[in-house]
């Protein structure tokens, strides 16, 4: 009888062990499905970006579709070589966070609008501000004549009229409120300036980041203006305006278009320069309504050239009216949820 009891006990223990192992395997499988990084969409060349439909792999299935986790670390915010508002180098630390590999695309924003019925500010108000290349006569008549308010211009029709935004291009003509609505729909946020610049510098620093973005062979490494702005754009980079996302090689963090193509919005209120000990004011802590604020945008756009807006650099920053929809300003999102151990392991980091 004692032997029979012992056999029964050992069988029960074995069953519990098998059950625990099965539960653990199920948990790992669930983590792989829900929390592992989404499959990377191949980008980084003109052929690959042209073939991209604008929606990252596992879109609306994996909550981190299209994102990469940055472990965080030390870096230098600002520069001593740029414009005055970029000056002041501050030793900084960025906690780990997730960030979109590309600027939010028209296809992604269309998915949001279709699911929620969201209407952007430009759509509600009937137009937006668009770049229109001027003539010499136009320039003699008025400063900044290349910016024109165009009726009917919005994220769907970036030039107004019958124009059509391509699904694989950055969504533009969206205000701060529009960008936040999209980010919150996904349970995400806009990056702070510190987060954005940490992601853009990707572990590098110094004068090498302040040069015109060109590859080792001299070819443009980003979408920016070549020629005499605003009269002549040689199109050396292959584009006359916005490019699809991911047409150029990613940075050290596998992020695309961190400089050039479209300016990117942050959640930080604009300041005139960087000052040690200064705490950035973000819209989380600012009581004024966002539409009354000058916000910080980063990275320059396809309109930046050697003779105007030399801001195709990671340290570059500019003020932007939060409620002004412009044809060269977009955004990307972040998530500050910590990476679980399995995700870190899958990305090659310590568990």
Question: Across residues 93-116, what is the average pLDDT?
Answer: 98
Give the integer Cα–Cα distance in Å for 310 and 229. 11
| More confident of the two residues 275 and 5 | 275
The mean pLDDT of the chain is 86
pLDDT beyond 70 at 277: no
User: What are the boundaries of each domain within the chain?
Assistant: 46-346
Among residues 72, 32, 38, which one has the least CA distance to residue 336? Answer: 72
Local confidence band at 163 (pLDDT 50, 70, 90 cut-offs)? very high
pLDDT tens digit sequence for 253-274 = 999 999 999 999 999 999 888 7
Give the integer Cα–Cα distance in Å for 138 and 331. 31
Position 82 scores a pLDDT of 82
Question: Across residues 2-9, what is the average pLDDT?
Answer: 47
The C-alpha angle 85, 88, 92, rounded to 5 degrees, equals 115
Position 33 scores a pLDDT of 43
Question: Across residues 40-66, what is the average pLDDT?
Answer: 95
Share of the chain above pLDDT 90, in %: 70
Question: Across residues 51-67, what is the average pLDDT?
Answer: 96
The C-alpha angle 315, 330, 334, rounded to 5 degrees, equals 75
Residue with tokens 């604020």: 293
Position 108 scores a pLDDT of 98
Question: Across residues 32-40, what is the average pLDDT?
Answer: 53
Q: Give every CB contact of residue 27 below 8 A, 6+ residues apart in sequence.
A: none
Give the integer Cα–Cα distance in Å for 185 and 112. 8
Question: Across residues 99-124, what is the average pLDDT?
Answer: 98
Question: Across residues 26-48, what is the average pLDDT?
Answer: 65
Position 351 scores a pLDDT of 40
Per-residue CA distances from 344 to 57, 253, 338 (Å): 19, 14, 10
Of 141-150, 274-283, 325-334, the range with the highest mean pLDDT is 325-334
Q: Which fold has domain 46-346?
A: 3.90.1580
Question: Across residues 157-185, what is the average pLDDT?
Answer: 96
pLDDT beyond 70 at 346: no
């Amino acid at each position: 009888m004692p032997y029979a009891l012992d056999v029964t006990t050992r069988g029960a223990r074995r069953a519990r062990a098998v059950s625990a192992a099965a539960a653990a395997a199920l948990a790992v499988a669930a983590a792989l499905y829900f929390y592992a990084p989404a499959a990377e969409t191949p980008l980084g060349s003109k052929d690959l970006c042209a073939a991209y439909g604008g929606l990252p792999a596992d879109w609306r299935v994996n909550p981190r579709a299209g994102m990469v986790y940055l472990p965080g670390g030390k870096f230098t915010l600002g520069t001593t070589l740029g414009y005055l508002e970029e000056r002041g180098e501050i030793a900084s630390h960025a906690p780990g966070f997730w960030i979109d590999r590309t600027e939010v695309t028209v296809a992604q924003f269309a998915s949001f609008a279709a699911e929620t019925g969201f209407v952007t500010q430009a759509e509600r108000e009937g137009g937006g501000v668009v770049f229109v290349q001027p003539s010499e006569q136009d320039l003699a008549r008025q400063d900044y004549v290349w910016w024109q308010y165009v009726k009917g211009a919005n994220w769907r029709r970036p030039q107004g009229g019958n124009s059509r935004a391509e699904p694989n291009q950055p969504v533009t003509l969206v205000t701060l409120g529009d960008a936040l609505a999209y980010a919150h729909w996904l349970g995400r946020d806009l990056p702070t300036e510190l987060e954005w610049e940490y992601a853009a510098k990707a572990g590098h620093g110094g004068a090498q980041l302040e040069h015109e973005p060109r590859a080792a062979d001299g070819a443009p490494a980003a979408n920016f203006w070549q020629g005499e702005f605003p009269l002549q754009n040689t199109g050396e980079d292959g584009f006359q305006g916005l490019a699809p996302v991911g047409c150029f090689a990613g940075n050290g963090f596998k992020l695309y278009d961190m400089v050039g193509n479209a300016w990117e919005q942050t959640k930080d209120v604009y300041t005139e320069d960087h000052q040690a000990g200064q705490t950035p004011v973000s819209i989380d802590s600012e009581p004024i309504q966002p539409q009354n604020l000058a916000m910080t945008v980063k990275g320059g756009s396809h309109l930046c050239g050697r003779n105007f807006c030399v801001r195709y650099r990671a340290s570059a920053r500019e003020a932007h009216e939060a409620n002004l929809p412009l044809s060269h300003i977009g955004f990307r999102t972040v998530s500050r949820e910590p990476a679980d151990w399995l995700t870190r392991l899958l990305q090659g980091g310590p568990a």
